[in-house]
Structure 1
Amino acid sequence: MSDLPKAGLLRRLASLMYDGLVVIAFAMLTTIMYLFFIQSLISFDVLSLGKYEDVSALIQGSSLLYGLRAILLVLVSVLFFSYFWTKSGQTIGMRAWRLKVQTPDGALLSWPKAILRSLTAVLGLGNLLVLIDFKQKRALQDMICGTEVVFLTKEENKKVYNSLD
């Protein structure tokens, strides 16, 4: 077990709010690219608007296109968190709030573990279990994946940030 203090609920939620803004920006960019992709398929006569007035209406009206967009948005979110957790243990929001996700021995997460952790976070609601797990302050995703979120000192946070260069 790490000797660093475990992160409480408020810091986790504050970090999640920061990251949520970044994920929303990525989701908007992904949606724009998806719209352009579908429009290009229409331009090359691979798809047809049919009874729909525009590309957005076509996507909303087609369960396949709508489902593909939903899968794509989930994938972007999972990749965002997984990338940062495997690279440094910190997302943008976690860096701002001096949090780090790691294994109990202090190692970075592997890609499979990071992906599973992201999928089991249940849109951040898994963090509410921190209120029940007084001693170890683990969220649902930490319990499932065998991870912990620690609160770093300013010096430790700088070390993580500087190690990325």
Structure 2
Amino acid sequence: MSHDSHLPTAGFFRRIGALLYDACLILALEIIAAGLIIAILGALASTELIQYGQYQDASGFLTHHPLWSPIFTAYLAIVWISFFVWFWTRTGQTLGMKAWRLIVRNEDGSPLTVTQSLIRLFTSGFGVSNLTVPFDPQKRGFHDIWAKSQVYVLPKTGSQKPL
């Protein structure tokens, strides 16, 4: 794929808009993911296939049990990580990025790999790395520098399909 230098790079405020949009989506997704596990545990407890022991309910069991609490936390982290890796490697756009007409690509214009997506996510500091955008000549966040990626603004007219 050709280099996408003809597209403008995304500035700070547009990135923050997409970040806030995605934060709301992630929150909803995490609530659904946690609710699914709590519903399953509730069903198992009501049929007496499991017992919460010293814990009052499924929530206490999942947040305080020495074994299940870290497993539950890892499960929620996997849901969160998968959201970004899935969208960045498939289309280059999360739903928030799509709403703000942003796309993330390699510096050569090709889609991100799983490794690049993980580097980008783990160096993002939950979005704090965007603070470097106003100071970088190429308008890259710290996470984009590390992942060798760039965020572009798609045009208003025409197709918004990945490049």
TM norm structure 1: 0.86
Unaligned runs of 5+ in 1: none
* Structure 1 residue 92 corresponds to structure 2 residue 95: yes
Correspondence 1:75-86 to 2 at 5 A: 75-86=78-89
Counterpart mapping for 1:136-147 below 5 A? 136-147=138-149
Q: Which amino acid aligns with 1:118?
A: L
In 1: Cα distance, 2:114 partner to 2:60 partner: 36
TM-score under structure 2 normalisation?
0.87
Q: What is the Cα deviation at residue 26 of structure 1?
A: 0.6
Contact 2:154 2:160 in 1 (8 A): no
2:73 and 2:118 map into 1 onto residues whose CA distance is 17
Which of 111, 115, 140 is matched with 1:108 structurally?
111
Residue 7 in structure 1 maps to residue 20 in structure 2:
no
Distance (whole Å) between structure 2 residues aligned to residue 32 and residue 76 of structure 1: 13
State the one-letter code of the partner of 2:11.
G
Superposed structure 1 runs of 4+ greater than 4 Å apart: 40-47
Output one character per residue of 1:28-53: Cα deviation in whole Å (capped at 9) or x when no partner.
01001121333455467675322221
Alpha-carbon deviations, 1:4-32, whole Å to 9, x = none? 21111100000011111111111001001
Q: CA–CA distance in 1 between the matches of 2:142 and 2:157?
A: 29
What is the RMSD computed on CA atoms of the aligned residues? 2.1
What residue identity is the alignment partner of 1:88? Answer: T
How many Å apart are 1:127 and its aligned residue? 1.1
Judge conservation of contact 1:118–1:141 (CA < 8 Å) in 2: yes
- Name structure 2 gaps, 5 residues minimum: none
Task: Point out the structure with the larger helix share.
Answer: 1
Matches of 1:141 and 1:87, distance apart in 2:
19
